[in-house]
């Protein structure tokens, strides 16, 4: 799995987390998962319970995303003889998604999507948190869907099934690591969330630019060439 794809998948995951559809709602997500509440400007919950519930939630949406990656790669293998055409089509679509996310396009079709509704329930356990993660991944909001769809297109044009699975695992990692970190920080203070919200529109545009660049490299066939050149100057390489 080439280094640029790995970087793009992880960055897309992190920027998806920092999107207007997800980041401002993190306190509500964490409160729902743990059954806790905010007092004196911080989340009041046992940190051990917080870690277990957050990890279960992350595993839940990761399983679905990885399964999507496997499916995309499996379908792509049937069209291996048309890989050049698939890469060009995928590249164009990723560019469109990037333009939409950067605010340079406004296609209503790409803004339609499901939302995750928080329901009150007294049952709080690791299994429930895992299922909540599954529900979250199945009903992602539009701006997360654009980044995820782009990585799925990249997975569909990958050479092997494991490459596609690996890309979505890295994407899930990029989404899960900051979720775990922010969940932990919420037990200390909620103030940093207000400060971070100021940067959300800029980060959304940055995500769009990332996808535009990724789509252009995939469309022109330069993605693998640049990755091969960069691999000469790295001390490690991820292989699947």
What is the pLDDT confidence band of residue 21, given thresholds at 50, 70 and 90?
Answer: confident
Per-residue pLDDT, 172: 93
Per-residue pLDDT, 179: 93
* pLDDT tens-digit readout, 121-171: 444 578 888 888 888 777 665 567 778 888 888 888 777 788 888 999 999
**Percent of all residues in the chain with a pLDDT value above 90, rounded to a whole number:** 13
Which residue from 183, 173, 142 is spatially nearest to 19, judged by alpha carbons?
A: 142
Per-residue pLDDT, 110: 61
131 Cβ neighbours under 8 A, 6+ residues apart: 60
What is the pLDDT confidence band of residue 180, given thresholds at 50, 70 and 90?
Answer: very high
Whole-number average pLDDT of the chain: 79
Q: Which helix (H) or strand (E) holds 42?
A: strand 42-44
What is the pLDDT confidence band of residue 118, given thresholds at 50, 70 and 90?
Answer: very low
What is the pLDDT confidence band of residue 120, given thresholds at 50, 70 and 90?
Answer: very low
Please enumerate, as own/partner, the contacts of 233-236 that have beta carbons within 8 Å and a separation of 24 or more: 234/3
38 vs 179: CA distance, rounded Å: 17
Per-residue pLDDT, 158: 75
Other Cβ atoms less than 10 A from the Cβ of 179: the count is 23
Residue 117 or 205, more confident? 205
Three-state SS at 210: helix
Report yes or no: 57 and 31 within 8 Å, Cβ to Cβ. Answer: no
* pLDDT tens-digit readout, 50-74: 999 999 999 999 998 998 888 888 7
Residues in the chain, total: 240
What is the pLDDT confidence band of residue 81, given thresholds at 50, 70 and 90?
Answer: low
């Amino acid at each position: 799995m080439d280094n640029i794809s790995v970087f793009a998948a992880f960055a897309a995951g992190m920027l998806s987390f920092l999107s207007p559809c997800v980041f401002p709602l993190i306190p509500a997500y964490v409160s729902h998962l743990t059954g806790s509440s905010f007092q004196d400007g911080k989340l009041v919950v046992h940190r051990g319970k917080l870690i277990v519930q957050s990890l279960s939630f992350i595993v839940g949406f990761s399983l679905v995303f990885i399964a999507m990656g496997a499916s995309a790669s499996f379908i792509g293998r049937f069209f291996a003889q048309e890989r050049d055409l698939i890469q060009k089509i995928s590249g164009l679509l990723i560019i469109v998604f990037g333009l939409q996310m950067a605010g340079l396009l406004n296609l209503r079709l790409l803004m339609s999507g499901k939302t995750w509704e928080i329901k009150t329930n007294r049952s709080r356990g690791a299994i429930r948190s895992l299922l909540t993660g599954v529900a979250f991944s199945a009903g992602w909001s539009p701006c997360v869907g654009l980044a995820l769809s782009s990585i799925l297109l990249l997975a569909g044009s990958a050479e092997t099934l494991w490459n596609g699975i690996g890309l979505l695992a890295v994407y899930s990692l990029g989404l899960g690591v900051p979720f775990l970190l922010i969940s932990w920080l919420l037990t200390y203070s909620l103030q940093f969330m207000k400060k971070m919200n100021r940067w959300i529109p800029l980060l959304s545009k940055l995500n769009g630019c990332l996808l535009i660049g990724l789509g252009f490299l995939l469309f022109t066939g330069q993605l693998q060439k640049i990755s091969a050149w960069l691999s000469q100057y790295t001390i490690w390489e991820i292989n699947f």
